[in-house]
Amino acid sequence: MPDEPRLITPLPTEPFVYDYPGAHDAVTYELENRIADPDGRIEALMEAHAPMRGRVVADIGAGGGFHAVRYAERAAHVFAVEPSAKMLAQLHRRIAGESEAIRPRVSVMAAGAEAIPLADGSVDIVHSRFAYFFGPEREQVRSCEPGIREALRILRPGGHFFIVDNDLREGDFAALLREFGYAAEPGLADRIDAFWAGRGFAAETVMSEWRAPSRGALERVVRMEFGDAAEAAMTRVAGHRIGYRYRIYHRAR
């Protein structure tokens, strides 16, 4: 007798997975990470608060692993936590192409922010960059509190938690997000700041840019991020750079 068909019902505890377009276009996603913050100002700010050398780092929502392998150049170990199958494929491909020195220092964890298979107090630094599964916008879909609690649980006392986000107030990129992206809602920047402040996070702004090798390359990245609005968005951009301010929320455990 044939097996009964098995019904797979999503469990309420399954992570809410934000489906980032970079999961479906690895080449443009890589280009975006290469042109973003080319002078490494975000890393400089994180280093000033919590130097990574010799430390254990968890990158939550690690995507294709661009940052995880960079951090492994100085961290003792990096846990790249990522739930999306397509992103995990990119992540494994990247690590396989890394040197003997880096490969053993990065572990991939197929998990969402809400349930990370790491022991309490086992990491020194949590990094989460463009983690749109965190923050008040996400609250409308599924609470992100379990993910925040989980990040704090895996941190050792005194360890640091960094959230890298967009500044929605000033700069060329913020203007694009307000006109063509998700930031049209009045007061959203204040609401996001208040959300993180209420959970003990300080906020700092990093003034940086996207610096592409050509206008065509910039346009490709803008298309991935803004979809149908990309053509109109590009009319606001001169040349191959866009001023970009990042909002970094951070706290110690």
C-beta of 3: minimal distance to ligand SAM in Å? 32
Exposure b/e, 163-185, CB count within 10 A at least 16 = b:
bbbbbbbebbbbbbbbebbebee
Q: How far is the CB of 44 from ligand SAM (least distance, A)?
A: 17
Of 66 and 161, nearer to ligand SAM (C-beta) is 66
Length of the chain: 253
From the list 206, 121, 120, 122, the residue with the least C-alpha distance to 163 is: 206
Which string of x and - marks every residue 160-199 that binds ligand SAM (by CB under 6 A)?
----------------------------------------
Kindly tell me which of 117 and 158 has the beta carbon lying closer to ligand SAM.
117
Is 225 near ligand SAM (CB under 6 A)?
A: no
Q: Which residues contact 160 (CB under 8 A, 6 or more apart)?
A: 46, 49, 50, 124, 125, 126, 250, 251, 252, 253
User: Which residue from 66, 79, 161, 162 is in contact with ligand SAM, where contact means CB under 6 A?
Assistant: 66
90-129 residues near ligand SAM, rule: CB under 6 A: 112-113, 129
End-to-end CA distance of the chain: 56
Tokens 């846990």, located at residue = 79
Q: Which of 71, 133, 173, 246 binds ligand SAM (CB under 6 A)?
A: 133
Residue 130 found at the interface with ligand SAM (CB under 6 A): yes
| Stretch near ligand SAM under the rule CB under 6 A, chosen from 10-18, 45-53, 165-173, 228-236 | 10-18
- Give me the phi and psi of 187, to 5 degrees please: 80, 0
Smallest separation (angstroms) from ligand SAM to the CB of 118: 13
Give per-residue burial for 71-109: e unless 16+ CB within 10 Å, then b: bbebbebbbbbbbbebbbebbeebbeebeeebeebbebb
Q: Which residues bind ligand SAM (CB under 6 A)?
A: 15-18, 20, 23, 33, 60-63, 66-67, 82-84, 87, 112-113, 129-133
